[in-house]
Amino acid sequence: MPDLTKSISSARRRLLQMHFESGVGHIGGNLSCIDMLVALLHRVVGADDEFVLSKGHSAGALYVALWSIGSLTDADLATFHGEATLLSGHPPVHGSPHIRFATGSLGHGLSLACGLALARQLQQRAGRVFCMLSDGECEEGSVWEAALFLAHRNLPVVTIVDANGLQGFGTTTEVAGLEPLAAKFESFGLRTLGVDGHDTDAFLDAMASVSGGPAVIIARTHKGGSVSFMRDRMEWHYLPMTEALYRQALAELA
Amino acid sequence: MRNEFCRAMVDLAADESFVFLTGDLGFQALEPLQQALGDRFINAGVAEQNMVAVAAGLAASGMSPWVYSIAPFLYARPFEQIRNDVCLHSLPVRLVGNGGGYAYGVMGATHHALEDYGALLCLPALRAFVPAFNSDVSTIIAHLSADRSYPAYLRLGRDEAPPSLLAPDYAAWRRLVPGAGPAMVAVGPLAGSLAGALAELTPDQRPDLWLLSELPPTYIPADLLESILRSRDLIVVEEHAAHGGAGEMLAAQLLRLGAAPARFTHRSALGYPSGRYGSQRFHRQECGLDADSILALVKRLAASPPGSA
């Protein structure tokens, strides 16, 4: 998959550029999921399918993934986080036909995905719904209401948890003792797979193996991706980059 | 009204986009609907946040979801799902809350809905419907089924029309009892009880009683406006908190129109003044919302016309 590898690499750099130019933080959690988002939109989410980004704070990565498939332009990305933009810091209501729901308050996306999937079931339409959550988001009770519902109704929802292990003010272990996360989803009757979220081959294999019904992919990732000074560091949930750090990050990703 | 509601819902069953979600409520009431809808009757369990967001997902996929629970569990727990998932996206989700105001009586405060339409009407595009009579229910439902351009909340209660009152055909505003006294606006079923009680007053004392069933009020009928301008006296009665209620909405509208009455009396839900619980009637009495309290109020106001002090 040389093309996809190239697309991911160029998306990572485009994401850094967009966040640097807009002076916006939240880059860490964007870099943890950009590889998966690009792989999903290029190779997994088909014409009958839908994708819901429940971890709305990774809107930047979603916009860049949409740019990568040609759905948003450089000119669109240049407006990110600016005045009168359609591309707000969290996914907007009317920013792109590929963005079905404004998200950002955590714990909504999986239920919305269930609604899209239930409609497919009732309308006897083909298609699956993919939904990406953050691991910290799993502290929201509504996530588990949705997990119960989708397992009970056997809905065609594939849940991807971007498990970077860091949340707003600590690690997921320090804050909530979230682990064992896979066992929690399994106990709801959901087939659950673990995968390295930065290993695109492994991620696509996992997606292929759960082609139909409800499943959960716990994707182990690093906040900040492979940028050395950001990797697994909580402050990059928030910080904007200086020019020097931006240049360094670009060089590391080149 | 629950039976009328169920019948009207059954009438929609042939529409394949119609889907009904309940938060595990409706035992011994909604079984006919369950039978009529088959797999489009979804008991979403005791999980209102999920239920409302699922409904948003269904509506975004071209379905017509109706979401049912008892009123407080429907608007308060999943408020953010109503705000973000339904209203931000202007999705035609229909929220049906059974038991508005103090209807659940001695079940206690957690089961009362005293700020339902006030809270919901802060949200963009949403409209609230408060039927007063059983016969209103099917008309409202037919309307909401045909016009899917906005989210809506339907507050169900109990038909309180006295036997002597022939319920007029449904409309947003209806004049229930004409009178030469103050203008009076009552929201929803309470108007039925008031219509019965006010009949005992002499025509010159009797308020001009109007029933309001759609919120926010988009207009004030010309005859009501005339009544307000003539009497310079307006009484608003609603089983809902004052803040965000119909009384405040009407007051603001009258101010904008330059038609503010000289006296404005607002009877509303006051919570639990004594800290004790009882029937809907008990709570109405505590708040001065029951028919006897309103009669006493009207007589007291008649003794000192607006502007006379």
Give residue-wise pLDDT tens across range B104-138. Answer: 999 999 999 999 999 999 998 999 999 999 999 99
Record the tokens describing residue A230, joined without a space. 């950001």
Q: What is the mean pLDDT of chain B?
A: 96
Of B19, B57, B63, the CB nearest to A112: B57
How many angstroms separate the CA of residue A122 from the nearest CA in chain B?
7
Question: What residues in B contact A114, CB-CB < 8 Å?
Answer: 50, 53-54, 57
Question: For the stretch B234-258, what's the b/e string if a residue is b when 16 or more beta carbons lie within 10 angstroms of its beta carbon?
Answer: bbbbbbbbbebbbbbbbbebbeeee
- Which residues does residue B30 pair with via DSSP β-bridges, in sequence order? none
Tell me the pLDDT tens digit for each residue of B192-208: 999 999 988 998 899 99
User: Taking 90 as the threshold, does the pLDDT of residue A253 lie above it?
Assistant: no
Q: What crossing angle do the helices spanning B48-60 and A141-153 adopt, rounded to 10°?
A: 60
How many beta-carbon pairs below 8 A join chains A and B? 91
Task: State whether residue A127 sits within 8 Å of chain B by CB.
Answer: no
How many angstroms separate the CA of residue B96 from the nearest CA in chain A?
18
Query: Given this model, what pLDDT does residue A234 score?
Result: 83
Of B45, B53, B63, the CB nearest to A111: B53
Tell me the pLDDT tens digit for each residue of B30-56: 999 999 999 999 999 999 999 999 999
Query: Given this model, what pLDDT does residue A169 score?
Result: 85
Tell me the C-alpha distance between B276 and A186, whole Å: 46
How many angstroms separate the CA of residue B78 from the nearest CA in chain A?
10
Query: Given this model, what pLDDT does residue A238 score?
Result: 83
User: Taking 60 as the threshold, does the pLDDT of residue A149 lie above it?
Assistant: yes
Question: Are B162 and B133 a contacting pair, CB within 8 Å?
Answer: no
Task: State whether residue A93 sits within 8 Å of chain B by CB.
Answer: yes
Tell me the pLDDT tens digit for each residue of B167-180: 999 999 999 999 99
Of A119, A120, A149, the CB nearest to B50: A149
Q: Is A54 in a helix, a strand, or coil?
A: coil
Secondary structure of chain B as H, E, C letters = CHHHHHHHHHHCCCCCCEEEEECCCCCCCCHHHHHHHHHHEEECCCCHHHHHHHHHHHHHCCCEEEEEEEHHHHHCCCHHHHHHHHHCCCCCCEEEEECCECCCHHHCHHHCECCHHHHHCCCCCCEEECCCCHHHHHHHHHHHHHCCCCCEEEEECCCCCCCCCCCCCCCCEEEEECCCCCEEEEECCHHHHHHHHHCCCCCCCCCEEEEECEECCCCCCHHHHHHHHHHCEEEEEEEEECCCCHHHHHHHHHHHCCCCCCEEEEEEECCCCCCCCCCHHHHHHHHCCCHHHHHHHHHHHHHCCCCCC
Task: State whether residue A115 sits within 8 Å of chain B by CB.
Answer: yes
How many angstroms separate the CA of residue A229 from the nearest CA in chain B?
36
Tell me the pLDDT tens digit for each residue of B257-297: 999 999 999 999 999 999 999 999 999 999 999 999 999 99
Question: Are A27 and A222 a contacting pair, CB within 8 Å?
Answer: no
Contact B54 A118 (CB under 8 A): yes
Locate tokens 């989410």: which residue? A45
User: Taking 70 as the threshold, does the pLDDT of residue A1 lie above it?
Assistant: no
How many angstroms separate the CA of residue B38 from the nearest CA in chain A?
11
Which of A49, A52, A108 is most worth mutating to test chain B (most B CB atoms within 10 A of its CB)? A108
- Which residues does residue A157 pair with via DSSP β-bridges, in sequence order? A129
Per the document, the length of chain A is: 254
How many angstroms separate the CA of residue A92 from the nearest CA in chain B?
10
**Chain centre to alpha carbon of residue B118:** 10
User: Taking 80 as the threshold, does the pLDDT of residue A243 lie above it?
Assistant: yes
Query: Given this model, what pLDDT does residue A127 score?
Result: 95
Record the tokens describing residue B93, joined without a space. 């989700």
Of A108, A116, A148, the CB nearest to B61: A116
Burial label, B303 (beta-carbon count in 10 A; 0-12, 13-18, 19+): exposed
Question: What residues in B contact A119, CB-CB < 8 Å?
Answer: 57-58, 60-63
Contact A149 B60 (CB under 8 A): no
| Residue B214's pLDDT band (cuts 50, 70, 90) | very high
Q: Tell me what the mean pLDDT of segment A228-232 comes to.
A: 91
Among the listed ranges A164-178, B23-37, B146-160, B240-254, which one has the minimum average pLDDT value? A164-178
Of B19, B44, B88, the CB nearest to A149: B44
Query: Given this model, what pLDDT does residue A94 score?
Result: 87
Of B49, B60, B88, the CB nearest to A142: B49
Tell me the pLDDT tens digit for each residue of A71-114: 999 999 999 999 999 999 999 998 899 999 999 999 999 999 99
Of B45, B56, B62, the CB nearest to A112: B56
Record the tokens describing residue B237, joined without a space. 């009665």
Question: Are B57 and B78 a contacting pair, CB within 8 Å?
Answer: no
Burial label, B295 (beta-carbon count in 10 A; 0-12, 13-18, 19+): middle
Quick one: how many helices (H) and strands (E) in chain A? 11, 7
Of B19, B50, B60, the CB nearest to A142: B50
Percent of chain A with pLDDT over 90: 84
| Residue B307's pLDDT band (cuts 50, 70, 90) | confident
CA nearest neighbour of A223 among A129, A136, A104, A97? A136
> What one-character DSSP code corresponds to residue A231?
T
Question: What residues in A contact B63, CB-CB < 8 Å?
Answer: 119, 122-123
Question: What residues in B contact A141, CB-CB < 8 Å?
Answer: 49
Tell me the C-alpha distance between A128 and A150, whole Å: 13
Contact A112 B40 (CB under 8 A): no
ipTM of the complex, rounded to two decimals? 0.95
Q: Tell me what the mean pLDDT of segment A181-208 comes to.
A: 97
Contact B58 A123 (CB under 8 A): no
Q: Which amino acid is at A82?
A: G
Which residues of chain B have a Cβ shorter than 8 Å from any chain A Cβ? 19, 39-40, 42, 44-45, 47, 49-50, 52-63, 80-81, 84-85, 88-89
Tell me the C-alpha distance between B120 and A73, whole Å: 38
Tell me the C-alpha distance between B188 and B173, whole Å: 10
| Residue A2's pLDDT band (cuts 50, 70, 90) | low
How many angstroms separate the CA of residue B61 from the nearest CA in chain A?
6
Task: State whether residue A143 sits within 8 Å of chain B by CB.
Answer: no
Task: State whether residue A123 sits within 8 Å of chain B by CB.
Answer: yes
Tell me the C-alpha distance between B57 and B61, whole Å: 6
Question: Are A112 and A132 a contacting pair, CB within 8 Å?
Answer: no
Contact B88 A117 (CB under 8 A): no
Per the document, the length of chain B is: 309
Record the tokens describing residue B282, joined without a space. 């008990």
